[in-house]
Amino acid sequence: MSDKFSRRDALKFSGAAVGTLALHGCGFSDANATTTPAPDQNTLFANLPSFVPQNEPVATGAMRISFMGTSVIERRAQQRSSVFVELGNGDSFVFDIGSGAVSNYVAMGVPWSKMRKIFLTHLHGDHTSDLTHVYCFGPQGDGKSPLYLFGPSRSGLRNPDYVNGAGSDQFYNPEYFEDGMLDFALHFREMNRWHTESQSFVGTRWKSGNGLPAAPGDGYDVYATELDWMTGDSSKRWTTSKFLNDNPGFTSAKGIAYQNNGVTISFFPAIHGRNGSISYKLEWNGLSMIFTGDTKPNNFLVTSALTGNPVDVLISEIVVNPDVWVTKQSGITDPTSPTYIAGLDNAEAVQVNSHTPQMAFGYILKQLELQGKAPRLGVATHFQAEDDTNSWALEDIRSWYSGPVTIATDLMVIDATHGAIQVRRAIVSDYSWSAKWTDPRQSNGTYDPKYSDPQSCNPYHPMGPLNQFDPYLLANEIDPCLYNKSGFMCTQPYPTSSCKLPTT
């Protein structure tokens, strides 16, 4: 067992790591001082006051931050990275949408219509995987308006495998990869082609009426804006439809991703993986939050946090120390074991390439404090949050900084107003269904589906649920009357001899 791990392991059993943590004036504590820290539970989170999403809309003038995915690795207790920001003016913004996060959005009752503006910090799968789900299924619910995507520009890095003189070809011998946001959006849209067509037997765009304009485009339309990580330019845009208006927050101002309805979202470079990671800062109504995405500790973050009023909520990724990672993952504590050494080398390389050590987060917060710009609350995320790792991380952060800090886990909810910052634990059902539709345009109905059946004899008019099947397939469907004579598919068959399928 390494010295470091031994010391920390001892702390785990003494309870000292959390026992010495101070309380802070934000209505929460770092952890329950009387509880012995242990793996497989998160006392810090369990002891937060509860919050029932359905009972409490965002207050006018407030900013609510809900953590929908907080882990770097795959685990049932925490989905992958996603932060949801709702404002008192009714606006809402998604920052990253990693795998599994959508199940938390659904549990929190967030409708698809509130997830139409998505800001990606970088194109790692643990920050983008559930975009597929939002895109594919949003228009089946009330997300029947375009999806606006924002994300970083190409890396600009030369492909080390490029073969000189063999001809440059994007797929077989690219000298430079097309690895930016617009490239991602184009291929993402096409990757999902079969899905979007197959589900276009229902209407996917809101109509106008009742004093409300139609949705500016279809729910399967994408409008992507590329944010240049080096120059701050945001003028590169791509959309699936030439009829679609610009993203509603477009501005030519450098370093600004989005500006509309009193909301400004700026971006700045992050140092993570390779060129092409960014961090975001959202400002509205005198409130602000920063979300770093993934990054090594950097001066861009410090500069952004020093600009303007102190940040209200500064959300930074952190990573467990390499020795903890190896032992947690492998179960090996012997530092002379070749497996341990190989694992440690790997964990250290990952940290050097990509992440913010626990202690560095404390250091950054301290530097901000020294310049009178300490955030009202620092939040660590992208982290395997359980009692022992929480206590070790807080110990490292506290070695530099004693201000208000917490560690996020899924369903932690922060309400920020000018007067207070409240941190709570959302109470949700594990068996929730898709969220209720809230888009007010639903009262207008939709344009006819792309695959519609206009015949009045069609019982599903204007939907055409059978329009995308070859007669060969339909001729081999088992007759519904064979298994349920009283079922609607037997008593009200479609098609019938007098109401054939339209020929397309």
Binding site for Zn ion (CB under 5 A): 124, 294
Residue (180 or 462) nearer to Zn ion, CB: 180
The least distance separating Zn ion from the CB of residue 377, rounded to whole angstroms, comes to: 23
Q: Which residues pair with 173 in a beta bridge?
A: 169
Q: How far is the CB of 269 from Zn ion (least distance, A)?
A: 14
Structure tokens of 132? 């597929």
Cα distance from N-terminal residue to C-terminal residue, the chain? 70
- Indicate the residue among 124 and 207 with the shorter CB distance to Zn ion: 124
Q: What are phi and psi of 202, to 5 degrees?
A: -110, 160
Q: What share of the chain is helix, strand, coil (3-state, %, to 5)?
A: 30, 20, 50
Query: For residue 68, with 0-12 CB atoms within 10 Å meaning exposed, 13-18 middle and 19 or more buried, which class applies?
Result: buried
In the beta sheet, which residues pair with residue 312? none
- E strands, 331-473, where? 377-381, 405-407, 412-416, 421-426
The smaller minimum CB distance to Zn ion, of residues 130 and 294, is found at 294
Task: Give whichever of 124 and 373 is closer to Zn ion, judged by the CB atom.
Answer: 124
Which one, 96 or 453, has the nearer CB to Zn ion?
96
For the chain, how long is the longest CA-to-CA vector? 82
- The angle that helices 322-330 and 3-14 make with each other, rounded to 10 degrees, is 80
Least Å distance between CB 84 and Zn ion?
A: 19
> Rounded to an integer, what distance in angstroms lies between the CA atom of residue 349 and that of residue 345?
6
- Of 30 and 294, CB closest to Zn ion: 294
Q: Write b or e for each residue in 112-151: b if 16 or more Cβ atoms lie within 10 A of its Cβ, otherwise e.
A: bbbbbbbbbbbbbebbbbbbbbbbebbbebbbbbbbbbbb
Nearer to Zn ion, 125 or 487 (CB): 125
Shortest separation between residue 81's beta carbon and Zn ion, angstroms: 8
Q: Is the distance from CB of 394 to CB of 45 less than 8 angstroms?
A: no
Beta strand pairing call for 63-69 and 412-416? antiparallel
Q: Nearest distance from residue 291's CB to Zn ion, in Å? A: 13
Q: Tell me whether residue 104 or residue 121 sits nearer to Zn ion (CB atom).
A: 121
Residue position matching structure tokens 């996917």: 204
Distance from C-alpha of 75 to C-alpha of 488, rounded to nearest angstrom? 42
CA within 13 Å, CB half, 244: 22
Beta carbon nearer to Zn ion, 124 or 441: 124
Q: Which is nearer to Zn ion, 12 or 124 (CB)?
A: 124
Q: Minimum CB separation from Zn ion for residue 170, in Å?
A: 24
Judge contact between 67 and 410, C-beta under 8 A.
yes
Query: In this structure, what are the phi and psi dihedrals at residue 320, rounded to the nearest 5 degrees?
Result: -60, 155
Minimum Å gap between C-beta 406 and Zn ion is 22
- Least CB distance to Zn ion at residue 315 (A): 15
Give the residue from 343, 337, 339, 338 showing the smallest Cα distance to 325.
343
